[in-house]
Structure 1
């Protein structure tokens, strides 16, 4: 386990934010055109420059914070799993290589990057503010489910049974976003599945009354192709125990360690994972 600590001008990233009113909603997956058949316009396929969390890598090949919030960044390992830096994304960001898939009953080395807030104010907690989160990614061809792995989790905080929870994931190569708050849970999945070995940008966006997922293919010829879905509803207040880390590449338990029986390890490469308040 390795740790790094960095500080940034967090206050500037949090100015001028809107509040999300609380209201009841329902957990659904929309049709391919989006809720109500309304298509969504493509969105910028880059992490916001003012992200409170934006991970890169240093010269030693360790994940590090490049966002504005003061945090600690640790690489967690299970059964000998390693996170390495392997090339760059199409956007030029360092690509964090996470462990390859191991089917049952083979041993499964796993690795997760954990980001924890520092100080008296938890700047990684959305509360009632609109927020966005996501990453660039390239999933392996060999990925699937096993007794200890039921998905490819990209960015998340908390667990599904916690009072506060959000995640960006691939479910059988279909990108999706989930948010749980004081009022309800919203779930949305993109209209298409992604291709293994191809770079994409996944952006989850919670705004007043709506959760949306945007997926943009990142080809070398700079002519990206996008698809998206959304669902209406209100989640209320999204709060966390400050000890709950934000994780990239999998999930952790209450003890802060990778869940050995339900890691949901992302199998592939991740670049520029982020959380931001637009």
Structure 2
């Protein structure tokens, strides 16, 4: 999926894919207290950078996100300033894991996993002979229950959505490409 190129202006294009669970009372996007992982393959544009310019709407590089920073719960994978970061927040606290800088115009596979109190971020790339190299970082801390305030909170790919599902004013727009986004919640 191709997302808009970097544009620090207040009128920059914004795009995000909105994913909602099926109606019927079960929130398929809620990992609760269980083990879960989410990730995607990411290719950043050479001009992709988080902008802190006044009025900029293109100020981040979100890959996958559900929930907002100050919300009840959040899981998020981003590459702001070309640094992969995974954030898991539940009713018992938040854990953030960052990795080393990544290069633009190179495909990376990013995977964030919460298993108990351990949050792990894996960043994989491939050399010219297609051999993978994975860098794994982790942090420990209690996150607790991930149940959001409402089961209508969408999962977004490529940018930030408000709980209502509309694109946020500061969309944290990914500038580049995303392939194979996924969420896996263990029973």
The reply to whether TM is greater than 0.5 is yes
Structure 1 stretches of 4+ with a deviation exceeding 6 A read: none
Which of 1, 6, 9 is residue 104 of structure 1 equivalent to? 9
Which of 213, 233, 247 is residue 141 of structure 2 equivalent to? 233
Task: Please report how far the alpha carbon of residue 218 of structure 1 lies from its aligned counterpart in structure 2 after TM superposition.
Answer: 3.2
- SS of aligned partner of 1:110: coil
Q: Paired residue for 2:70?
A: 161
1:243-258 matches, within 5 Å, as 243-258=152-167
1:174-213 matches, within 5 Å, as 174-190=83-99, 192-213=100-121
Q: Does 1:141 align with 2:41?
A: no
Q: Using the alignment, how far apart are the partners of 1:228 and 1:172 within structure 2?
A: 19
Q: Does 1:121 align with 2:26?
A: yes
Q: Using the alignment, how far apart are the partners of 1:275 and 1:149 within structure 2?
A: 25
Q: Does 1:266 align with 2:177?
A: no
Which of 81, 98, 105 is residue 172 of structure 1 equivalent to? 81
Task: Please report how far the alpha carbon of residue 151 of structure 1 lies from its aligned counterpart in structure 2 after TM superposition.
Answer: 1.3
Query: What's the TM-score, normalizing by structure 2?
Result: 0.92
Q: Using the alignment, how far apart are the partners of 2:126 and 2:90 within structure 1?
A: 32
* Alignment gaps of 5+ in structure 1: 1-95
Higher relative contact order (CA 8 A, sep 6+): 2
Matched length: 180
Question: RMSD in angstroms over aligned alpha carbons?
Answer: 1.3
Q: Using the alignment, how far apart are the partners of 1:264 and 1:114 within structure 2?
A: 14
Task: Please report how far the alpha carbon of residue 131 of structure 1 lies from its aligned counterpart in structure 2 after TM superposition.
Answer: 0.4
Task: Please report how far the alpha carbon of residue 252 of structure 1 lies from its aligned counterpart in structure 2 after TM superposition.
Answer: 1.2
- Structure (1 or 2) with the larger CA radius of gyration: 1
Task: Please report how far the alpha carbon of residue 220 of structure 1 lies from its aligned counterpart in structure 2 after TM superposition.
Answer: 5.2
- SS of aligned partner of 1:274: strand
Q: Using the alignment, how far apart are the partners of 1:120 and 1:201 within structure 2?
A: 33
- SS of aligned partner of 1:172: helix
Task: Please report how far the alpha carbon of residue 264 of structure 1 lies from its aligned counterpart in structure 2 after TM superposition.
Answer: 0.1
Q: Paired residue for 1:65?
A: none
Which of 156, 170, 184 is residue 276 of structure 1 equivalent to? 184
Q: Using the alignment, how far apart are the partners of 1:167 and 1:100 within structure 2?
A: 21
Whether the 8 Å CA contact 1:201–1:218 is kept in 2: the answer is: no
Task: Please report how far the alpha carbon of residue 221 of structure 1 lies from its aligned counterpart in structure 2 after TM superposition.
Answer: 2.3
Whether the 8 Å CA contact 1:202–1:214 is kept in 2: the answer is: yes
Q: Using the alignment, how far apart are the partners of 1:272 and 1:201 within structure 2?
A: 9
Q: Using the alignment, how far apart are the partners of 1:199 and 1:219 within structure 2?
A: 10
Query: What's the TM-score, normalizing by structure 1?
Result: 0.63
Output one character per residue of 1:16-61: Cα deviation in whole Å (capped at 9) or x when no partner: xxxxxxxxxxxxxxxxxxxxxxxxxxxxxxxxxxxxxxxxxxxxxx
Whether the 8 Å CA contact 1:137–1:200 is kept in 2: the answer is: yes
1:8-157 matches, within 5 Å, as 96-104=1-9, 107-118=11-22, 119-144=24-49, 145=51, 146=53, 147-157=56-66
Task: Please report how far the alpha carbon of residue 155 of structure 1 lies from its aligned counterpart in structure 2 after TM superposition.
Answer: 0.4
Whether the 8 Å CA contact 2:60–2:80 is kept in 1: the answer is: yes
